[in-house]
């Protein structure tokens, strides 16, 4: 976790093989009623000002802007 004057930034990394996050980053009407796979898109819209996966998908950097 890192706090700058303009944002709180959290980086989460695990030792797993990662995953193809690209198909989960936005809402897809074809998956609207799936039991899983919507949480990433929902958190990007509702919880973070920025959410960016890195590398093979086992690391994500999120940030929330600080209002000054």
Q: State pLDDT tens for residues 47-56.
A: 999 999 999 9
The proportion of the chain whose per-residue pLDDT surpasses 90, expressed as a percent, equals 59
Cα dihedral 29, 32, 35, 41 in deg (nearest 10): 80
How much is the pLDDT for 68?
A: 65
Model confidence at 2, pLDDT cuts 50, 70, 90, reads very high
Residues 3, 45: contact at Cβ < 8 Å? no
pTM for this prediction = 0.82
Sequential DSSP letters for 22-41: GGTSS--GGGTT-SSS-HHH
Model confidence at 15, pLDDT cuts 50, 70, 90, reads very high
Name the helix (H) or strand (E) containing 55: none
* 60 pLDDT above the threshold of 90: yes
Q: How do the domains of the chain map onto residue ranges?
A: 2-65
Distance CA 58, CA 43 (A): 17
Q: Per the structure block, which two tokens stand in for 40? A: 């990433």
């Amino acid at each position: 976790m890192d706090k700058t004057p303009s944002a709180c930034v959290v980086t989460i990394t695990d030792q797993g093989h990662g995953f193809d996050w690209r198909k989960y980053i936005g809402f897809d009407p074809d998956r609207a009623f799936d039991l899983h796979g919507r949480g990433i898109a929902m958190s990007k819209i509702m919880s973070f000002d920025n959410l960016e996966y890195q590398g093979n998908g086992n690391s994500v950097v999120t940030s929330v802007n600080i209002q000054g």
